[in-house]
Amino acid sequence: MPSLVRKRVLVTGGAGFLGSHLCERLLADGHDVLCVDNYFTGAKANIASLVGSPHFEMLRHDVSTPLLAEVDEIYNLACPASPIHYQHDPVQTLKTSVLGAIHMLDIARRTGARVFQASTSEVYGDPDVHPQTEDYCGNVNPLGPRACYDEGKRCAETLFFDHRRQHGTRIKVVRIFNTYGPRMHPDDGRVVSNFITQALRGDDITLYGDGSQTRAFCYVSDMIEGFVRMMDSEDDVTGPVNLGNPHEIPVRELAERVLVLTGSRSRLVYRPLPQDDPTQRCPDIGRARRMLGWQPEIGLEDGLGRTIAYFERLLSGDPARTVSDALIAG
């Protein structure tokens, strides 16, 4: 339902997987959206159908450099989120996380806007606590190949809470667990997109370790609903708040489900587990339930079906990547 108040909303990383879904949700809610992206992992195709809207504006910009904007709300999603992409240029990944947070906080302080930080379950590292609660401080290797992302996001959280203490900035911090759906990058190295594209192409499906490590998968529309509820919550609800699906499964089981749903005859093959790859990852979402009245609604079979349909169109060369991909499948 459209909002009664039209807000001016800035979305960094707005041409990415989550960002593009958020932009269309905000437009549907009746807001003006300024989408900022440098297209390192985002794609113009993700937002192509939004460009004609008089309430949507696109700006090519790298958030590691300052930005001036007059807005009511800021969603800071800018940062490569898959190991393949963030390890490609780890120094720039750190700059995006840290300097991007500083620049968005500066806008929020000047304008009085609420500012939302898309943090990550990677702040927990390879956890000793299961499921992960927001008060768990994590088990992160600050020197490993994943540290540019893990520690960059941890530092960004520090900046957000120090900004609130020092300047009274209106902050919102969520920690995102594994999310999937239409518009995932086909070559981002994440298990859902990997398994689906490998199955559809008839390639071997690659499992790392013995496939017993667990993940919990949240469909993209559920995640975006959590974002909006967090932003709309009272100012004293700052987070951090875990957003994700609390029902975990081994990655081998995910691969087997993808094989069944695609009808693929791909084989499962095993490779060594990457350094610092978590063996368990599952959120405790009690805080999200209490504070936001939020929990995932889309089941894994349904969500995988929608995502497979998207990748079938993408791999077949169909250029139609519309805002209604998920809605049509549902």
Kindly state the average pLDDT of the residues 34-45.
95
Residue 20, pLDDT > 60, answer yes
pLDDT for the residue numbered 3? 66
pLDDT for the residue numbered 140? 93
pLDDT for the residue numbered 83? 80
Helix residue ranges, H only, the chain: 17-28, 44-47, 83-86, 90-111, 147-167, 191-201, 220-232, 251-262, 286-292, 300-315, 325-329
Kindly state the average pLDDT of the residues 166-190.
94
The residues spanned by each domain of the chain are 8-329
pLDDT class for 120, splitting at 50, 70, 90? Answer: very high
CB atoms < 10 A from the CB of 98, how many?
18
pLDDT class for 1, splitting at 50, 70, 90? Answer: low
pLDDT for the residue numbered 330? 30
Query: What letter does residue 28 receive in the DSSP assignment?
Result: H
pLDDT for the residue numbered 318? 61
Q: Which tokens in the block code for residue 281? A: 């990852």
| DSSP letter for each residue of 115-166 | EEEEEEGGGGBS-SSSSBPTT---B--TTSTTHHHHHHHHHHHHHHHHHHHH
Vertex 122: Cα angle to 25 and 131 (nearest 5): 95
pLDDT class for 154, splitting at 50, 70, 90? Answer: very high
Kindly state the average pLDDT of the residues 112-133.
95
Cα–Cα separations (whole angstroms), residue 47 to 144, 154, 173, 202, 307: 34, 29, 25, 30, 18
CA–CA separation, 182 vs 310, rounded Å?
Answer: 6
Q: Which of 91, 98, 227 is nearest to 154 (CA)?
A: 98
pLDDT class for 146, splitting at 50, 70, 90? Answer: very high
CA–CA separation, 83 vs 277, rounded Å?
Answer: 10
CB 152 within 8 A of CB 96: yes
Omega into 142 within 30° of 0, i.e. cis? Answer: no
Q: Which range among 90-94, 150-154, 186-190, 262-266 shows the weakest confidence by mean pLDDT? A: 186-190
CA–CA separation, 60 vs 34, rounded Å?
Answer: 11
Secondary structure of residue 303 in the 3-state scheme: helix
Q: Diameter of the chain by CA atoms?
A: 58
Kindly state the average pLDDT of the residues 253-258.
97
Beta-sheet pairing, 114-120 with 73-76 = parallel
**Active-site annotation, residues:** 149
Residue 4, pLDDT > 90, answer no
Kindly state the average pLDDT of the residues 248-277.
93
pLDDT class for 323, splitting at 50, 70, 90? Answer: very low
CB 320 within 8 A of CB 313: yes
pLDDT for the residue numbered 279? 82
Specify the CATH class of 8-329 in words: alpha beta
Average pLDDT, the chain: 93
CA–CA separation, 51 vs 214, rounded Å?
Answer: 39
Say if pTM beats, i.e. exceeds, 0.75.
yes
Q: Which range among 4-13, 52-61, 83-92, 251-260 shows the weakest confidence by mean pLDDT? A: 83-92
